[in-house]
Amino acid sequence: MVIAEASSSADTSAIESLFWITVAAVASPIVARISRGFVPDAVVLLVCGMAIGPNLLGLADVDSVQILSELGLGMLFLLAGYELNPKLLGGTSGRVARLTWLVGLVIALIAVTFAIPEENFSAHIAVAIALTSTALGTLLPIIKQDGLLDTPLGRSVMAHGAVGELAPIIAMSLLLTSRSVGGALVVLILFGVAAVLIGAVPQRIVERVPGVRYAVSEMSGGTVQLPIRVVFLLLVTLMTVAAVFDLDVVLGAFAAGLILQRLIGPQNHEVGKSLEVVGFGVLIPVFFVASGMSIDVTAVLGQPVLWLGLVGAIGVARGLPVWLSERYVQHGSNLVSPRERTQLALYAATGLPIIVAVTGVATAADLMSVQLASVLVAAGATTVLVFPLIARLMTRRERG
């Protein structure tokens, strides 16, 4: 009787929230498929989260699945770091992409300062960083599906997308902190040293201890799946180190992906597929749905001008500098076609995951109001829905 009474009074909000999140995760790809891919899966997940969240139906509680959401965020950026080609950040094209991002950041900061004068300077910086991000992880399936990955347009999207994903993460660590910029830079360097040391340990063990590589290969299947467990250990270790250094866990997750690429390389398709199954099949949908649950729908609908204004600001601050750099700055691999330059600008201005991460950091540190964060996330979701759609329609029209 005591056990029955205790079990009946137990809090079931976590499992109920997880139930509705999994329902949304199953429904979202079906909806995306019905729309023939024009409505991305991430947007459907966000909308489902808004529907089941406390601001509408109240079926799920975001606090009860917070740790799963954090792991989903970590897996999203680990996979982004794992798929990133470091060569895209070097050379003339990489240098132009970095300078283009800096120009966009300045434009975004000026625009935000005049557009939202009631917010403090820290909020302006957070919004400016969010406006200049690129959702490379969201764009990759679209680029692959349209057969653009190995084309000049696809390579340009990857170059600007790599900078648009890495640079905002570093900017978050330097500018969205209670430390001075100099102190934040020292901490960032120390984190980099720690990440290098953490990445060197397993590499040295595999190289110098006989039989380790064979043992790991033997335990890579069945009920053990040792390589996947090691990857999760690496991910959680780097996220923990980032948290100890008072940095955002996104930086640790991205560093874990870069280390993983160096350790096993993207040619290890078996590990890569297993990570995609765990990430995109389980954890990443939880992150997007939980992010949608945090959106204040009333705030978004109550400020439609700000919502649309932020969508336009993303296009101007991120897309316009990319278009201008392709048109007027020679770096050896410029896109000649005006249509492709416009498509590149639209793809580069597609941002969502980093916008969610930036708003999460800013609201947790009381640098940004929940209402502004909700409108900014809604604007990011709109770019994921609209900008790639326009770019794909341009391709189909050209082929027609």
Asked if residue 370 has pLDDT above 70, the reply is yes
**Separation of alpha carbons 259 and 240, rounded Å:** 15
* Alpha carbon distance 302, 295 (integer Å): 13
pLDDT at residue 102 in the model: 93
Q: What would the mean pLDDT of 270-288 be, rounded to a whole number?
A: 87
Angle of helix 91-115 relative to helix 304-314, nearest 10 degrees? 160
96-105, 140-149, 170-179: range with highest mean pLDDT? 96-105
Taken in order 114, 115, 120, 123, is the CA torsion positive or negative?
negative
Tokens coding 40: 């991305």
Q: What's residue 329's pLDDT?
A: 85
Question: Is 3 a residue whose pLDDT tops 70?
Answer: no
Mean pLDDT of the chain: 84
Over residues 215-225, mean pLDDT: 74
We report the CATH number of the domain holding residue 342 as 1.20.1530.20
User: Is residue 7 in a domain?
Assistant: no
Do the domain assignments include residue 2? no
Instruction: Determine the pLDDT at residue 7.
Output: 56
Average pLDDT over residues 283-309: 88
Residue 6: inside a domain, yes or no?
no
Rounded to whole angstroms, the Cα distance separating 200 from 208 reads: 12
- Which token pair is 143? 């680029």
Domain assignment present for 1: no
- The answer to whether residue 30 is domain-embedded is yes
pLDDT tens-digit series, residues 89-121: 777 888 888 999 999 999 999 988 888 877 778
Q: What are the tens digits of pLDDT across the range 39-76?
A: 888 888 989 998 998 888 888 888 888 889 889 988 98
Tell me what percent of the residues of the chain surpass a pLDDT of 90. Answer: 18
Long-range contacts (CB closer than 8 Å, 24 or more residues apart) made by 113-117: 115/309, 115/313, 116/306, 116/372
383 within a domain of the structure (yes/no): yes
Residue with token string 């770096």? 331
DSSP string, 284-302: HHHHHHHHHHTS-HHHHHH
Asked whether residue 5 is assigned to any structural domain, the reply reads no
Contact 375, 310 (CB under 8 A): yes
Q: What is the pLDDT of residue 394?
A: 81
> What's the pTM value of the predicted model, to 2 decimals?
0.83
What is the band of 400 on the pLDDT scale with cuts at 50, 70, 90? low
Number of domains making up the chain: 1
Domain assignment of residue 148, given as a range: 14-399
Give me the mean pLDDT over the 236-265 stretch: 86
Alpha-carbon distance of 176 to 170, in angstroms, equals 10
* CB of 129 closer than 8 Å to CB of 171: yes
